[in-house]
Structure formats: C-alpha cells, structure tokens
Amino acid sequence: MRKPLPQDDLQFIVEQTADVWATFDGARLFVTGGTGFIGSWLLEAIQHANRVTSSHVEVVTLSRNAAKAREYAPHLFDDGSVTLIEGDVTTFEADVGRIDFCIHAATDVADTKKAADALRMFDTGVAGTRRVLDFARKSGVARLLLTSSGAVYGPQPPSIEKMPESYMGAPDPLDPTTAYGQGKRAAEWLAATYAREGDLQVAIARIYALVGPGIPLDGPFAAGNFIRDAIAGRPISMKGDGRPLRSYLYMADTCIWLLHMLLHAENGQAYNVGSEDALSIAALAKTIERLCGSRDSGLPTAARNDSDAPRYVPDTSKARRSLGLAQYTGLETALSKTINWNRTAVTQ
C-alpha cells in the first residue's frame, strides 16, 4: 500500500490555491490517471482541501483496475468524495452525470513495459485524449486541462538555454522511439481544435521533469532510480556520461501550477510546467548520494561543462507572468522530502 503524502505539502498546496477552492465549492471534477504520480497527488490535495476548506469537491476518476487501485491506496479511493470508475482511457464508457471540470493526466510513460510499445503509447496519447474530450463535451465540462510534455518540442538545441512555448521544433517523425512526443503533439492539436469549435475551455500544461513522494523508483525517471539505489545502500547506477542537463519541480509546486492553470489559463494556450534551475544528471546523482548519506559511488561531482550537453530545461516565464506562479521548493528540499518519505514508505 502507498502511505499518505506529507501533510505539510498538502496544506501548502491548499494555502496557495485558495481561490481555486472558493470557485470549486460543490463542483464535480473528472480526473484521468488518478492512480498515477501526478493524478494521485491531485486527488490527495483535493481531499485535503475538502477537509480544511469545506469545499465539497467531488472527484470522479478513471482506473484500469478499480480493485487494485483501492488496494494500493485505500486512503484515496475509499474516500466518500471519490467515485472510481473502471476502464481504459481509450475505450471507457461512463454516464456519471454532469461534470464541471476535467484534468486529463493519463499516460503510460511511467510503465516501462507499456512505454516500450510505441503504438500503444501513441494511441493512449491520441485516442485517449479524443475520448476524454468527447466525454467532457457530453458531460458539460466548462474547463479542461490536458497534461502534455516538453517532449513535444523534440530535442532541445544546446544553444537554447530554456525552451519557450514559442519554439516550433518537433520530434523526428521517422523515429519510432518518439511515440510519446508525437502522441502528445497530436493530443495538443485535438485539445486546441475542441477549444476553438465549442463551449469547452481547454488549456495545456507541458510538464518537464518532476520529483516528489510517490515518484516511481523502477521506471524511466533518473531521480527515482537514483533514490532507490542510494536508499538501498547500493552505488548509484547511472546510464551514460552524466552530461545531460535537467531541472526538477517538486510535486507540491506542480499541483499548485496545475490547479491554477485549470482555473485561470487562457483558452487554447499551452504553458511550460517545471523548474528553470538546470543541473547535470551526474550532479543530481551526487546530490542524492550526499542527502542519503550513502557511500561514494565514484561518480564525478559534476559532468564536465560542455557547451553542447543535451538539455531538457523549460522557460516558464509565460506561466510566471500570466498566472503569478513560482517555484516554491528548492531542489535539495524537494529531494530530501522525497528521500525521507520513501525511507518510511510501506513496501508495496
């Protein structure tokens, strides 16, 4: 079973989104990906808001296996404010009455076996988004937030320090390994088209690397895998030379950003979600080793400062300027909170 998230994080989210709960009082919210990393954080934040603000938000969430979801996180899915419906995002059928808001956060990217199936990955992004958009329109949804990814830009040129939303690059259409980015691009096109053609207001969150309690420790995320190794007392296993540059936004901050975007983002617009503080993969590994107090694995303190090192770092000035958002949690604090939560987590 997964234990609850840190209460101080949930309280901080609620405090930073007070206008959201005032607007959402009595609303019904549909969330896809409710058992995933992002979705489960959002659900737990909503439940905490219901407790401390009396906002009475009802959540309807989708899961491929409802019984497994309840077993994994009973504190989430046995709560009276959550209605769990079973189905795949690409094919589900549900009649749950009127829905006011929707967050489409379903993805297979954290599941390495499913992510290896390029066609399935693409279909989840495209057919799943079309299904959710049709469901939202039918259910009377006023505003929908699509969680997309910085992968839509394709490789970030080393000459661009921080990737802006205006960049017109794209993943290579002849490379089958770009299924995730290709699917997200098509999903964004669908969302923008629905936003233009009907009453449904749609915004897009292009999410970069995240870290926080609940991050998969056996998946495609370097931070999670490094934390797994360090907590177990093993030398951190790092693929490659550690040169690529990344940045990491804490999940509590991410929830604040997504909730504000759901309520306030401009219709048909996309916003980068992430940290602008770049560091190399090698530096991330060394920081995690130090915070865990684990033995030195012999990794370099930092990768050499090559000007052509691959980058995956967003420009978030659009979200900061138009929505008043900020990075509230520094990286070392974010990593420490993630490490401490995982050290005491119940073995799944």
Residue 330 counted as domain residue = yes
Give the C-alpha separation, 46 to 119, whole Å: 33
> Among positive and negative, which fits the CA dihedral 74, 101, 109, 244?
negative
Residue 327 is predicted with a pLDDT of 98
How many distinct structural domains can be found in the chain?
Answer: 1
Query: Helix, strand, coil: what percent of the chain each, to 5?
Result: 45, 15, 40
Residue 181 counted as domain residue = yes
Classified as helix, coil or strand, 73 is coil
pLDDT tens, position by position, 44-95: 999 999 999 989 999 999 998 889 999 989 999 988 899 999 999 999 998 8
Residue 2 counted as domain residue = no
Give the C-alpha separation, 242 to 304, whole Å: 9
Given a contact cutoff of 8 angstroms between Cβ atoms, the answer to whether 255 and 41 are in contact is yes
* Residue 307: exposure state from Cβ atoms within 10 A (0-12, 13-18, ≥19): exposed
Ordered strands of the 311-312 beta sheet:
279-280, 245-246, 311-312
State the distance between the two ends of the chain, measured CA to CA, in whole angstroms. Answer: 5
Residue 1 counted as domain residue = no
Given a contact cutoff of 8 angstroms between Cβ atoms, the answer to whether 247 and 209 are in contact is yes
Domain containing 254: what range?
Answer: 7-343
Give me the residue label for tokens 């394709």. 154
Residue 198 is predicted with a pLDDT of 79
Residue 103 counted as domain residue = yes
Residue 66 counted as domain residue = yes
Over residues 146-168, mean pLDDT: 96
Q: Percentage of the chain with pLDDT > 90?
A: 79
Residue 348 counted as domain residue = no
- pTM (two decimals): 0.95
Range scoring the smallest mean pLDDT among 44-58, 161-175, 176-190, 305-319: 305-319
Range scoring the smallest mean pLDDT among 139-143, 229-233, 321-325: 229-233
**CB within 8 Å of 320: residues ≥ 6 apart:** 326
CB count in 10 Å sphere of residue 168: 6
Residue 216 counted as domain residue = yes
Residue 348 is predicted with a pLDDT of 41
User: Is residue 63 within a helix (H) or strand (E), and if so which, with residue range?
Assistant: strand 58-63
How large is the angle between the packed helices 7-16 and 37-53, nearest 10 degrees?
70
Give the C-alpha separation, 311 to 303, whole Å: 13
Residue 347 is predicted with a pLDDT of 40
Question: Phi, psi (5° rounding) for residue 280?
Answer: -75, 160
Q: What is the CATH number of the domain that holds 38?
A: 3.40.50.720
Given a contact cutoff of 8 angstroms between Cβ atoms, the answer to whether 299 and 255 are in contact is no
